[in-house]
Structure 1
Amino acid sequence: MTVGINPEIVWVDNEDEVRLYNPDDGEFQTFNASAALIWRRLAAGSDVETVIRELADEFGSDDERERDVIGRDVREFVALLQARNLLGTPEPAPGGGDGDR
């Protein structure tokens, strides 16, 4: 699944954290190092499955259970970002069909 950063979000990358402001609700948030790592990769255009794979490889998770935990945690974090309107949805493909049946 590919997601994009909501273009209304203002964010700053500070070494081991990401700080952002959501003008929709006026909220400021700070992501810790782990969350910031996921945010940066999503912002760079990586899809969720690629982020999971890269994190599992980066942190040496050879055990399938560890990889499953990383996958679950990343998906839960992405769902939270979507619920807070911090992520946008990718643009639909041309001819993606609204009612052309």
Structure 2
Amino acid sequence: MAAHGADVGINGSRERGGVDVVVEEIRAAGGTASGVMADVSDPDALAARMVDAVHDELGPIDIAASNVGVRKAAPLPRTPGRASSPRTWR
């Protein structure tokens, strides 16, 4: 997405180093990126840390993509994110 002009917020929940590497790769290629650490299974952390931090640094969020590691194979509900329960995101 960064290669096509999008400003990108990168989130990690465990290791800051990996987030920093990706942010630096995007910046080195001429893109704009911000790195944040937040646990996406915690709605308060998600809102207060990730969403607010990315918004403050990069502006309004137009696209959100989740690449969270999932341990259990199950279909995602066809429901907008805000309408989904926190349990769905865990």
Query: Greater relative contact order (Cα 8 A, min sep 6): structure 1 or 2?
Result: 1
TM range, normalised to the smaller chain?
Answer: 0.3 to 0.5
Give the greater-gyration-radius structure (CA). 1
